[in-house]
Amino acid sequence: MLSPYRVLDLTTERGLLCGQILGDLGADVVAIEPPGGCPARRLGPFAGDVPDPDRSLVWWAYSRNKRSVTLDVTTPVGRDLLLGLAAEAHFLIESYDPGFLASHGLGPDDLARVNPRLIVVSITPFGQTGPKANYADSDLVILAAGGPLVLTGDDDRAPVRLCVPQAYLHASADAALGALIAHHERARSGRGQHVDVSAQQSVALATQSYILAAALGAPEVRRTAGGLKSWHLTMRLLYPASDGWVAITFLFGSAIGPFSRRLMHWIHAEGGCDLATRDKDWIAYTQLLLDGREPVEEFERVKRVIEAFTRTRTKAELLRASLEHSLLIAPVATLADVVASPQLAARDYWQSVERPDGAGAMRSPGPFAKFSAQPLRYEHRPPRLGEHTDEILGGELGLPDEELAMLRREGVI
């Protein structure tokens, strides 16, 4: 869908997903890596647990549909080559610390001089400017700074993140979105601009607007495993099954309350609770708890009733009941469960992508959406380091072989 467009992808591990999204949509994405390789290539896990720049699964996961050129853009000749590529490109994405590229004559203004139509996208921890713009970062630090971390984890232990980094994926997806908004505007004005993404702000979306609690005069939410504590109430969203865990949206109000009512009717029909428990006012239930008409101890008892019931059923049985009775129950899947999902199989989700190490193909997440006019493409496997340097600098930019050889000797490529 974006096949007319060329993307120069200078991102580190902070920004890989951005270029891949544009690549999946058909853009011609060229990863510009330092001669030692993109830092993401040093991140594990590695294929076969062998640390090697061409075996990083972080690189493999987020570099599909890209080609790789090595180029030391901090050297004068490397800089000029990049400006040559930028003159013909539509997007340039980067995720270096603020000011790094500008210090090498490759800031947004320098790039605009060679190509006023170019859209430059920068992904950083806290944005290009501001009191924390130069803060050191990590996934955990960004989640702490942006709001999701305080909401997550067991109430008697430290706040906790997911076992796999998330912060820069939110930022990278925002970056692709910002790039396409600027692109839409460029079709009208003919002019590029600079998109400035802050990971801190991107992850704030994952607070479900609770970032606004103080601003709205609403109570602060506190963390509890698999749920949340608000007011003096503990909302619980994860329950045990006989063979693992299930998520249940056991909440109230005019929209979700009817699902909770159906849940209690089903549990009653299966002999799991008495009539009085079944027939509480599940629409107004939060309000009843807040004004004390329903004691909190009674709510705690109801949750124990549900738990005692779900414990007797398997995840699959609970999912089946969810579909049959229109309930809000889903299994807590392991990644093995996810891969075995009949739903994903029926939709032909998994794509076979050739491994960069030549050892066959690997099962990869499929298209993020199904487009009727032009399906997303899985055209290029993740590239080995510098695999397309000659093809792009020689073939497309027209550097003669002798010059490529010289640049190679000097360590520029």
Partner 1 sequence: MAALDGVKILDLMWVMAGPAGTRILADYGATVVRIESTKRIDTARTLAPFFGGTIGTEQSGCFQNLNLGKRLLTLDPANPAGREVFLDLVRWADVVTESFKPGTMAKWNLGWDVLRGAKPDLIMLSSCLMGQTGPLASFAGYGNLAAAISGFSNLGGWPDRPPAGPFSAYTDYVAPRYIAIAILAALDHKRRTGEGQHIDLSQAEASLHFLGPALLDYAVNDRVAGRVGNRDRDIAPNGAYAAAGDDRWVAISAATDAQWSALCTAIGRDDLRTDPALATASGRLAAQDTLDAAIAAWTASRDMHDVERVLQAAGVPAHAVQNSRELLADPQLLHRRHFVAVTHPERDSVTLEGTRFHLSRTPAEIESSAPTYGRDNEWVLKDLLGYDDDRITELVVAGALE
Give residues 224-253 in contact with partner 1 (rule: CB under 8 A): 225-226, 228, 230-231, 237-238, 240, 245-247, 249, 253
What are residue 19's phi and psi, to 5 degrees? Answer: -65, -35
Closest CA relative to residue 124, chosen from 186, 65, 167, 181: 167
Q: Rule CB under 8 A: choose which of 114, 141, 296, 321 binds partner 1.
A: 141
Q: Residue 243: how many CB atoms within 10 A of its CB?
A: 13
Whether cis (ω within 30° of 0) applies to the bond prior to 45 is: yes
Nearer to partner 1, 226 or 394 (CB): 226
- Pick out residues in 168-227 that bind partner 1 (CB under 8 A): 169-170, 173-178, 180-185, 187-188, 191, 193-198, 200-202, 204-223, 225-226
Q: Residue 242: how many CB atoms within 10 A of its CB?
A: 12
DSSP designation for 96: S
Closest CA relative to residue 137, chosen from 175, 95, 108, 192: 95
DSSP designation for 384: P
Q: Least distance (Å) from partner 1 to the CB of residue 84? A: 24
Contact flag: residue 12 with partner 1 (CB under 8 A): no
Q: SS3 of 330, please?
A: strand
Nearer to partner 1, 260 or 389 (CB): 260
**CA angle in degrees (0–180, nearest 5) for 270-317-276:** 25
Q: Least distance (Å) from partner 1 to the CB of residue 394? A: 30
Q: Residue 178: how many CB atoms within 10 A of its CB?
A: 20
- Pick out residues in 336-395 that bind partner 1 (CB under 8 A): 336-339, 341-344, 346-347, 349, 355, 362-374
Q: Which residue has the tokens 């605009």?
A: 112
Q: Least distance (Å) from partner 1 to the CB of residue 328? A: 5
Nearer to partner 1, 215 or 275 (CB): 215
Give the integer Cα–Cα distance in Å for 407 and 201: 40
Nearer to partner 1, 314 or 364 (CB): 364
Q: Least distance (Å) from partner 1 to the CB of residue 73? A: 22
Q: Least distance (Å) from partner 1 to the CB of residue 104? A: 20
Nearer to partner 1, 100 or 349 (CB): 349
Closest CA relative to residue 105, chosen from 79, 77, 134: 79
Q: Rule CB under 8 A: choose which of 163, 275, 297, 400 binds partner 1.
A: 163
- Pick out residues in 67-106 that bind partner 1 (CB under 8 A): none
Long-range contacts of 398-407 (CB under 8 A, 24+ apart): 399/81, 407/77
> If 0-12 CB within 10 Å is exposed, 13-18 middle and 19+ buried, where does residue 226 land?
middle
- Pick out residues in 264-303 that bind partner 1 (CB under 8 A): 286-287, 290
- Pick out residues in 108-137 that bind partner 1 (CB under 8 A): 108, 126-127, 129-133, 135-137
Q: Least distance (Å) from partner 1 to the CB of residue 100? A: 15
Q: Least distance (Å) from partner 1 to the CB of residue 379? A: 16
**Greatest pairwise CA separation for the chain in angstroms:** 86
Q: Rule CB under 8 A: choose which of 154, 243, 300, 307 binds partner 1.
A: 154
Nearer to partner 1, 78 or 250 (CB): 250
First to last CA, the chain: 31
One character per residue 309-338, x = contact with partner 1 (rule: CB under 8 A): -------------xx--x-xxxxxxxxxxx
Tokens standing for residue 173: 């997806």
Closest CA relative to residue 368, chosen from 387, 352, 353, 349: 349
- Pick out residues in 14-53 that bind partner 1 (CB under 8 A): 17, 21, 25, 43-45, 47-49
Q: Least distance (Å) from partner 1 to the CB of residue 7? A: 13
